[in-house]
Structure 1
Amino acid sequence: MIAVTVLTTVVVGFKPRWFCVPHCYIAFSPASRMSPADGGEQVAQIATLLFIPLCLGDARTWHWQEPSGPIAPSHRGSAYAALLVLRCQVAVVYLEAALSKLAYPSWRNGTAVPILLDDPEFGLPSALRPGVVRLLARGWPSTVVTWGTMVVELAICICVLPGPRARRCALMLTVLLHSAIAVAMGLMSFGLTMIATVLAATARPPRAEPTAPEPATIHGHRPEQERALHVS
């Protein structure tokens, strides 16, 4: 019940500063008692741990609100470092995912995806499996889909680090890749975790509008007041 309450509060965005630590604790606590099925739990643990320095300096009541001012200097450095580490972690995850596949002959010769889709546990639904596997078994479609998966993973790795445009491209590729995996293999929780993590890593923090500086004073009076005194 406590976990449901905390996670619901996180979703609605109330007081990020207060709930970032409980969120991280909940992400770690189930994983200590069960074996992860698809890897999404480890990613969530790392992400929520890095959210702590990002959120501790967030004084907003709701995280949907525009910030009223910049992050306090005492939190600015740690927040920037955490965001940079999160982006690097995402890049490492997708780089490892792409390169590790090259160790298997089925990925190198372009036949891995049809084999995975034909798997009775993680493959396509039984009604769709024969037709899709037969289509991909023709040769070039299998090669395109198999190598295309690795190319997309490498592209996410590269695009998550540079400027805002490249990071938006990384986010779109992540949504396309994991939506396809969720539909084809049923890894819904893993897909949602990865999309949410990349969304956080690629987000551009909104900047508060700078406030106009107060006019300079002369002997305790503003310039217009000083002029009025001289005229009178």
Structure 2
Amino acid sequence: MFEKLGSFAYNLALTQNPWTNVYGLARSLMALSTALTLAVNDAHTFFRPSSGMDVYPTCVNTISLFCTVPNDYFYLDMVRWIAVVLLLIVASGWRPRITGVIHWWICYSFNVSAITLDGGDQVAAVFTFLLLPITLTDSRKWHWQKAHEPQVVSDHVIIRRIIALVTFFAIRLQVAIIYFHSSVAKMFESTWLNGTSVYYYLRDPMLGLPSFFLQLVNPILTSPAVVLPTWGTLVLQVCLFGALFAPKKYWKYFLIAALLMHEVIAVMLGLISFSMIMSAVLILYLRPVEQEFTSLHRIRLFKKETSPTQKDYHLSPQQVKGA
């Protein structure tokens, strides 16, 4: 069994290059989302006392970026803007091997030290960590570049590709678990089962719709048709879990439906950063890594392909024969 598994991984790595602008776009969306959150909110919003915690930011047993300065809002704001600049560099796609670690450290630091967070910030901390094996094995200067495809691939490159491809599978599994957990948890709530949850959530005075959107959808919310968005959300989340087992040719349909759901949430509820992060995660989940976004190759700055090096791609005649 292990021989077959190893042979499958080896053959897959021979034919599939994992370092494409597919995961590059996802990285940029995640970085821009966190940068936006940090840029439009000051340190007072994120770092404040909470129940049972008078000292802030949280710095116990952490390696947080926000714990490298004194506990003062002036210094915390300085670090916040430094993080914004670094995240913009990450979003530019420059040197994934370097910026991948920086991206994770900022998202991790924000997640463990800040009080005011949403689910998207937690997702970003997890997925920037999961992306590390991919970024650390990506030798491109820009993550938008189309990587060079050598005629003969060395064992060194094969190993790097296998690491990256296995990581992509782990990421897809994690996304599927998120939607599975979300859908199952809803099934134990009576308002989701009877189809009225969307009514209560969208009419919530603090978390619900602004008055303009509420007036538009109120006829639906106050009619039996409210069960459609409620149960529709449940069905879509179950389907998104099932997409883990779907053939690649159907992935795009799941992706379009999921992106529409999150963009509606972004526009109507104002959860912009959350929707950006979830869109990035969905790209990692439902866009085959080999199906690059060809329009991004037209950007002049990133047109030049990375050059193969003798170390990575040269094989002796004996090695070629053995392969």
Regarding TM over 0.5, the answer is: yes
Question: Secondary structure of 2:212's partner?
Answer: coil
Q: Note the alpha carbon deviations across 1:155-209, whole angstroms, 9 max, x for none.
A: 111114433223222321221111111122222111111111111233323389x
Is 1:68 the counterpart of 2:148? The answer is yes
Is 1:16 the counterpart of 2:100? The answer is no
Q: Which runs of 5+ in 1 are unaligned?
A: 209-216, 218-232
Question: Secondary structure of 1:92's partner?
Answer: helix
Check whether the contact 2:111–2:117 (CA below 8 A) recurs between aligned residues.
no
**CA positional deviation for 1:118:** 0.4
Larger radius of gyration: 1
Higher relative contact order (CA 8 A, sep 6+): 2
Q: Note the alpha carbon deviations across 1:53-83, whole angstroms, 9 max, x for none.
A: 1111211111111111368123222211211
- Among residues 139, 142, 154, which one is paired with 2:226 in the alignment? 142
**CA positional deviation for 1:13:** 0.7
Question: Counterparts of 1:205 and 1:113 in 2: how far apart (Å)?
Answer: 35
Check whether the contact 1:117–1:133 (CA below 8 A) recurs between aligned residues.
no
Q: Note the alpha carbon deviations across 1:23-79, whole angstroms, 9 max, x for none.
A: 110110011111353211111111101111111121111111111136812322221
Matches for 1:103-182 after TM superposition, within 5 Å? 103-139=188-224, 141-182=225-266
Q: Which has the higher mean CA deviation after the structures are superposed, 18-27 or 32-41?
A: 32-41
- Among residues 121, 124, 132, which one is paired with 1:52 in the alignment? 132
TM-score normalised per structure 1: 0.82
**CA positional deviation for 1:6:** 2.1
Aligned to 1:86: 171
Q: Which has the higher mean CA deviation after the structures are superposed, 20-29 or 121-130?
A: 121-130
Aligned to 1:33: 113
Q: Which runs of 5+ in 2 are unaligned?
A: 1-80, 293-316, 318-323
Question: Secondary structure of 1:72's partner?
Answer: helix
Question: Counterparts of 1:113 and 1:22 in 2: how far apart (Å)?
Answer: 38
Question: Counterparts of 1:201 and 1:109 in 2: how far apart (Å)?
Answer: 31
Aligned residues: 209
Which amino acid in the other structure matches residue 123 of structure 1? G
Check whether the contact 2:251–2:286 (CA below 8 A) recurs between aligned residues.
yes
Structure 1 residues 114, 14: closer, same or farther in 2, change over 3 A?
Answer: same
Structure 1 residues 58, 143: closer, same or farther in 2, change over 3 A?
Answer: same
Check whether the contact 2:176–2:244 (CA below 8 A) recurs between aligned residues.
yes
Check whether the contact 2:262–2:279 (CA below 8 A) recurs between aligned residues.
yes
Question: Counterparts of 2:213 and 2:174 in 1: how far apart (Å)?
Answer: 35
Question: Counterparts of 1:36 and 1:73 in 2: how far apart (Å)?
Answer: 43
Which amino acid in the other structure matches residue 257 of structure 2? L
